[in-house]
Amino acid sequence: MTLQRKHFTILALAVLGATAFSGALAQSGYPVKPVTMVVPTAAGGTTDLSARMLAQALGPVLGQTVVVDNKGGGNGNIAAAAVKRAEADGYTLLMQYSGYHVISPHITKQKQWEQGDFQPVANVISAPQIIVVRADLPVKTLPDLITYARANPGKLNYASSGNGSLQHVTGAMLEQQGAIKMVHVPYKGTGPALQDLLGGQVDLTFGTAPPFMPHIASGKLRVLAVTGKQRLPSLPDVPTTAEAGYPRVDATSWFAVFAPAAVPKPVVDKLTADIRAVVQNPAFQQKAQEQGATADYQTPAQLGEKVKADLASWATVVKTSKIEAD
């Protein structure tokens, strides 16, 4: 058994006692078979990592295996459409990435789902973006990057997890605030984008810290700034974009569980109670912090309000950044 697997087994057993009575709230017998958690990205990104962290700890609490099913592509539409069509029994859930949930709807012409097709279950992880470059790019700070980009208009290319993803919007914000021009290269998730960044096919990217941390530690990648309001405990020497002189480049992602709209309330109540126990466990919180993220449980009502607010605020950003629809 690997150290990581042991870690999550211990975590799951720790929260199991705290949730022993939550089943009384749920629909009788749920769950009686494995639960599938659909992920709208390829393996390797923070959405995938969030799903796997949660699945490993949540499975023993539910008493059933939680299977992670990656359905990347289509700016999250493939996964969302699959969960929308699934039977509304609580056995098919969506681990959603905020960029796909509140940004993609503003730039997608042929919509395959609507907000009303889903109900919020719980927020799990929140994390700011970081700005990461390949190690051999001749820049060491965010101002260096801006200076280089201005001297070489259109030469730099940046990867994202898809058109309209938060990485794409963050790149567009940086172009706007820094008065620079870069080339956007969309991928089907952070995992593939990261591989091409490591291989030198792209120059930089924007993303939440977890998948980049090992490569930052090894020196293969260089992190220039954090797009949140505070420095990350896991990257204490890395300044925020505000500290680097670009306070309006501010972007934080969230990763949350949604269910088909018709899933019965008792099932959602059980799921959110069990997820809360997992996410609020100190071991889970420490693991998230080590990865450059924050374990951030929010109730269905709180998550629903966040979705409404973010839909409105990102609509303005998409418009001012002149991001075109697919």
Q: Say what the pLDDT of residue 151 is.
A: 97
pTM score of the predicted model: 0.79
Q: What is the largest CA-CA distance in the chain?
A: 65
Which is nearest to 195 in space by CA: 74, 73, 44?
A: 44
Which is nearest to 271 in space by CA: 281, 286, 256, 287?
A: 256
Q: How far is CA 140 from the centre of its chain?
A: 26
Q: Which two tokens stand for residue 133?
A: 């470059």
Type of residue at 276: R
Tens of pLDDT, residue by residue over 45-82, are 889 999 999 999 999 999 999 999 999 988 899 999 99
- For residues 103 and 166, the answer to whether their CB atoms sit within 8 Å is yes
- The Cα 49–Cα 42 span in angstroms is 10
Q: Say what the pLDDT of residue 9 is.
A: 52
- For residues 134 and 223, the answer to whether their CB atoms sit within 8 Å is no
- The Cα 221–Cα 132 span in angstroms is 7
Q: DSSP letter string over 114-148?
A: -GGGEEEEEEEEEEEEEEEEETTSS--SHHHHHHH
User: Who's near 312: CB < 8 A, 6+ residues apart?
Assistant: none
Q: Say what the pLDDT of residue 288 is.
A: 92
Q: Look up tokens 């709180």; give the residue.
A: 302
Secondary structure class of 71 (helix, strand, coil): coil
Distances, alpha carbon 236 to alpha carbons 165, 205, 220, 239, in Å? 26, 20, 19, 8
Q: Say what the pLDDT of residue 42 is.
A: 87
**Tens of each residue's pLDDT in the chain, 326 residues:** 454 555 555 555 555 444 443 334 444 589 999 999 999 998 888 899 999 999 999 999 999 999 999 999 888 999 999 999 999 999 999 999 998 999 888 888 778 999 999 999 999 999 999 999 999 999 999 999 999 999 999 999 999 987 778 888 899 989 999 999 999 999 888 889 999 999 999 999 998 898 999 999 999 999 999 998 889 988 999 999 999 999 989 888 899 999 999 999 999 999 999 999 999 999 999 999 888 889 999 999 999 999 999 999 888 888 877 776 55
How many residues are recorded in the chain?
Answer: 326
Q: Say what the pLDDT of residue 326 is.
A: 53
Q: Say what the pLDDT of residue 184 is.
A: 94
